[in-house]
Amino acid sequence: MTEPGVIKHMDSTEITPQQLAAIHKYTRRPLEAEELYVFKVNLCDNEVDRDGERFTIQSLYRLADLFVGKTGIFDHNPKGDNQTARIFEAQVVADPGRITSAGETYHCLCAWAYMVRSQKNADLILEIDGGIKKEVSVSCAVSQRICSICGANRLTQPCSHQPGADYETPTGTQKCHILLEEPTDAYEWSFVAIPAQPQAGVTKAHLPIFGEEAQAGEVLKAIRQGETSLSQTQAAVLCRYLDGLEELAKAGENYLETLRKEYVRLSGAALPSLEGEVARQICEKMTVAQLEHCNRAMEEASQRRKPVSLQLGGDWEESSSDGNRNFKI
């Protein structure tokens, strides 16, 4: 870990030769300072956020490396060609006068981004200069989510502690929070409109992560090909992927149970002498598609049987001799 830098006070219209050189790594031709707009964004810090999570100082340093070169988008127009900015420099800045709620010196990950000035982004630049656009959300992947109370990595070892709740520890009462450690990738950052985010600060998207499904696919492929050792990151990716599948499986199971209950109810109405328990046993063996099909068919049949009574709300009786229906209203 290197020492934190000093806070730079920078006018967005002034671009230093060092900054220009850093930007030129990303441009096809060396652009003049007048063609560029440079601004500073605070990406994230080590304060506990409203989700009860925080980056460790070490994570901020790692993210500083990962975010250089990453593009940012503006929430109202993510596809706008001229509405993107790229980070060309990032630095962790410490504020010794400020202590976080977790008792650490406040550290912030500051980044400098550039945009190529154009007519289309003139308004946007004005908004950034005017401080209207200043809250940023970041999207990144971390391989460790550590419980501050028991030290468990909750990605692989869930614990019962709830972020935000107080717990008695040998060193006194502590509020549980999650430490986000070992960032493995940074995906993007974006400006969020202040009115939509009244609680100023960082909104992050650690999980689920863009591209993680593809990563998990690669890990699975390697395992199928006989790979038996996984790196910590690969294992974490796989665990998150499995957690996601588990959640989906639960939702699927709930849906199946709803279909089975519906099957028992509808078959009871269609065939009153059929025992509920038997209907239940029949549908246990049916697939989702078969259940959906049967339920739909029984529903339609029951609609056909009593159309008028449903429309008029009257009692009805069926003539046993000729099949004609007589209605009493």
Q: Which of 145, 147, 180 is nearest to 163 (CA)?
A: 147
100 and 48 Cβ atoms separated by less than 8 Å: yes
CB of 142 vs Zn ion, minimal distance in Å: 17
Of residues 64, 109, 147, 179, which one binds Zn ion by CB under 5 A? 147
CB of 162 vs Zn ion, minimal distance in Å: 9
**146 in contact with Zn ion (CB under 5 A):** no
**177 in contact with Zn ion (CB under 5 A):** no
Cis before 208? omega within 30:
yes
Structure tokens at 309: 């009574």
Of residues 68, 115, 149, 186, which one binds Zn ion by CB under 5 A? 149
Nearer to Zn ion, 71 or 174 (CB): 174
Widest Cα–Cα separation across the chain: 100
Nearer to Zn ion, 175 or 305 (CB): 175
- C-alpha 275/C-alpha 280 separation (Å) is 9
Pairing of strands 178-192, 53-55: parallel
What region, left, alpha or beta, does residue 69 occupy, with left being phi > 0 and alpha being psi -120 to 50 degrees?
left
For residue 23, what are the contacts with CB-CB under 8 A and spacing of at least 6?
Answer: 15, 31, 36, 38, 88, 114
**209 in contact with Zn ion (CB under 5 A):** no
Tokens 């070892």 belong to which residue?
Answer: 157
Tokens 């796989």 belong to which residue?
Answer: 238
CB of 207 vs Zn ion, minimal distance in Å: 18
**179 in contact with Zn ion (CB under 5 A):** no
Structure tokens at 271: 């065939």
| Sole window of 55-63, 96-104, 144-152, 219-227 interacting with Zn ion (rule: CB under 5 A) | 144-152
**259 in contact with Zn ion (CB under 5 A):** no
Nearer to Zn ion, 150 or 274 (CB): 150
Of residues 145, 161, 177, 206, which one binds Zn ion by CB under 5 A? 161
CB of 225 vs Zn ion, minimal distance in Å: 36
- C-alpha 233/C-alpha 224 separation (Å) is 18
Q: How many residues bind Zn ion (CB under 5 A)?
A: 6
**167 in contact with Zn ion (CB under 5 A):** no
Of residues 150, 230, 256, 270, which one binds Zn ion by CB under 5 A? 150
**41 in contact with Zn ion (CB under 5 A):** no
For residue 269, what are the contacts with CB-CB under 8 A and spacing of at least 6?
Answer: 298, 302
Neighbours of 314 (CB within 10 A): 11
**155 in contact with Zn ion (CB under 5 A):** no
Nearer to Zn ion, 158 or 314 (CB): 158
**107 in contact with Zn ion (CB under 5 A):** no
**54 in contact with Zn ion (CB under 5 A):** no
Nearer to Zn ion, 73 or 152 (CB): 152
For residue 117, what are the contacts with CB-CB under 8 A and spacing of at least 6?
Answer: 34, 35, 36, 37, 125
**175 in contact with Zn ion (CB under 5 A):** no
| Sole window of 22-30, 74-82, 115-123, 161-169 interacting with Zn ion (rule: CB under 5 A) | 161-169
- Helix, strand, coil percentages in the chain from 3-state DSSP, rounded to 5: 35, 30, 35
**159 in contact with Zn ion (CB under 5 A):** yes
What does the binding site for Zn ion look like in residue numbers (CB under 5 A)?
A: 147, 149-150, 152, 159, 161
